[in-house]
C-alpha cells in the first residue's frame, strides 16, 4: 500500500478548519502571538522578577538583591520567571494494531487526521510543533515554527502505512518510547499522544505517571467499530495484528458477539483506569468519526 494516509484535499480541509478557530490541543489560553508571552510554571533566568530568596552557595552574586539584603541583614538573591515559548509535540502510533480499519478509515489514518488538525491549529497560534512517529524505524521531527516546518511534519505523518506484522517484545518497545519522551522533551511541553493503547500494561504505569508530571499530556485512544462491536459476518478467520496469530470465529452467534463486546469493554475500562491512575488526561475517538472539532473542543 503506497498511497498516503491523507490526500492533498483532506489536508487542505483540516488546515482550513484549524485556521478558522479550532481550539488547539493545549490547556492554557494563548492571547498574543509573541515569543516570551507564555511564562513557565517554574523559575529560571528570565526578564520578569519573581521573588527574592535567601542566598545559597553557588548563586551568581550579580543577582544579589541588595535592598532586601540591607533591610533584613542577610544576603538575598533575585529570581526571575523563565520565559518559554510553548511547544506542542505530537506522537502518532503507527504500530501494527493501528493499521486496521473496517469503516471509513484505518485507525492510523484517524490519528493522522487529528495530528494534522492539531498541528495547523498550534501553528496558527505561533506554537512550535514537533512530532514522533512510532514506526519501523521510529522517526522524530524536531519542533519548528511556521507552515514550512509544519508541512514537512505533515508529509511524514501521512506517509503510506502498509500492513506490518508486529515484532516480539512490543510492550518493552513502548516503554522505551515513553522513557525517551520524558528524557528529551522540555518540561511543561504539551504532548498529544495518539494511539489505540492496545500495548498498555502495568509495566508502563511508572513511565506514564512520570511523563504526565513532566509534561501537559493528552492521550487520545482511537478504536474501530468492529473492536467495540463484532459484526455478524458468519464464520470468519481473524488475525491478531500484534502477534500474527489467526483464529476462526463464528460471528453469527449472538453469544460470541456479546462475549467479544464484554471483553473489549473490560479492557477499555482497564485502560481508562490506568491512565487516570497515572494522572493522564484522555479522550476516546472512533476511527469512523468525520468531524474532529467537537472531540477537540473542551480538551484543549
pLDDT of 28 reads: 42
HSE, side-chain direction, 13 A CA sphere, residue 22: 26
Question: Per-residue confidence at 47, pLDDT binned at 50, 70, 90?
Answer: low
Owner of C-alpha cell 551568581: 60
- Which range (3-17, 58-72, 208-222, 260-274) has the least confidence? 58-72
pLDDT in tens, 230-262: 888 888 888 776 666 788 888 888 898 899 889
- Mean pLDDT rounded to a whole number for the chain: 84
Which cell is 16 given? 482550513
> What is the topology classification, in CATH, of domain 8-30+85-296?
Rossmann fold (3.40.50)
d(CA 60, CA 77): 8
Least confident of 63-72, 218-227, 261-270, 272-281: 63-72
Residue 150 in contact with residue 117, Cβ under 8 Å? no
Is 281 or 1 the better-scoring residue by pLDDT? 281
What are the phi and psi torsion angles at 146 (to 5°)? 85, 165
Q: Which three cell numbers stand for residue 74?
A: 542577610
> What is the distance between the alpha carbons of residues 258 and 249, in angstroms, rounded to a whole number?
13
pLDDT over threshold 80, residue 145: yes
pLDDT of the residue at 235:
84
Helix (H, G, I), strand (E, B) or coil at 218: strand
Q: Provide the CA 290 distance to its chain's centre, in angstroms.
A: 19
* CA proximity to 293, closest of 2, 14, 4: 14
pLDDT value of position 115:
97
Residue 35 has what pLDDT?
A: 47
The CA-CA-CA angle for residues 41, 186, 114, to 5°, reads 100
Residue among 108, 107, 116 at smallest CA distance from 154: 116
This prediction's pTM: 0.77
- Tell me the per-residue pLDDT of 80-116, one tens digit each, with 9 for 90 and over: 665 556 899 999 999 988 999 998 899 999 999 999 9
| pLDDT computed for residue 243 by the predictor | 66
Three-class secondary structure of residue 85 per DSSP: coil
pLDDT at residue 172 in the model:
54
- Residue 89 near residue 52 (C-beta atoms within 8 A): no
163 vs 115, more confident: 115
Q: Where in the chain is the domain with CATH 3.40.50?
A: 8-30+85-296
Amino acid at each position: 500500500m503506497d498511497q498516503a494516509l491523507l490526500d492533498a484535499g483532506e489536508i487542505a480541509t483540516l488546515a482550513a478548519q484549524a485556521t478558522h478557530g479550532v481550539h488547539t490541543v493545549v490547556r492554557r489560553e494563548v492571547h498574543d502571538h509573541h515569543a516570551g508571552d507564555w511564562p513557565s510554571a517554574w523559575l529560571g533566568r528570565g526578564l520578569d522578577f519573581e521573588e527574592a530568596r535567601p542566598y545559597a552557595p553557588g548563586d551568581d552574586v550579580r543577582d544579589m538583591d541588595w535592598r532586601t539584603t540591607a533591610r533584613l541583614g542577610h544576603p538575598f538573591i533575585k529570581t526571575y520567571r523563565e520565559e518559554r515559548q510553548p511547544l506542542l509535540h505530537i506522537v502518532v502510533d503507527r504500530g501494527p494494531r493501528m493499521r486496521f480499519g473496517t469503516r471509513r478509515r484505518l485507525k492510523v489514518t484517524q490519528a493522522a487526521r487529528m495530528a494534522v488538525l492539531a498541528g495547523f491549529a498550534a501553528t496558527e497560534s505561533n506554537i512550535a510543533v514537533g512530532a514522533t512517529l512510532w514506526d519501523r524505524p521510529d522517526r522524530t521531527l524536531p519542533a519548528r515554527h511556521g507552515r514550512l516546518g509544519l508541512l514537512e511534519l505533515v508529509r511524514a505523518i501521512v506517509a503510506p502505512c502498509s500492513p506490518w506484522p508486529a515484532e516480539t517484545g512490543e510492550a518493552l518497545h513502548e516503554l522505551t518510547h515513553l522513557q525517551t519522551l520524558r528524557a528529551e522533551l522540555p518540561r511543561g511541553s504539551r504532548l498529544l499522544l495518539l494511539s489505540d493503547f492496545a500495548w498498555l500494561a502495568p509495566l508502563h504505569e511508572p513511565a506514564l505517571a512520570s511523563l504526565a508530571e513532566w509534561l501537559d499530556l493528552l492521550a487520545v485512544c482511537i478504536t474501530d467499530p468492529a473492536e467495540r462491536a463484532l459484526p455478524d459476518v458468519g464464520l470468519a478467520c481473524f488475525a491478531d495484528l500484534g502477534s500474527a496469530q489467526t483464529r476462526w470465529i463464528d460471528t453469527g452467534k449472538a453469544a460470541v458477539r456479546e462475549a467479544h463486546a464484554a471483553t473489549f469493554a473490560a479492557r477499555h475500562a482497564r485502560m481508562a483506569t490506568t491512565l487516570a491512575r497515572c494522572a493522564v488526561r484522555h479522550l476516546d475517538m472512533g476511527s469512523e468519526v468525520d468531524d474532529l472539532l467537537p472531540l477537540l473542543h473542551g480538551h484543549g
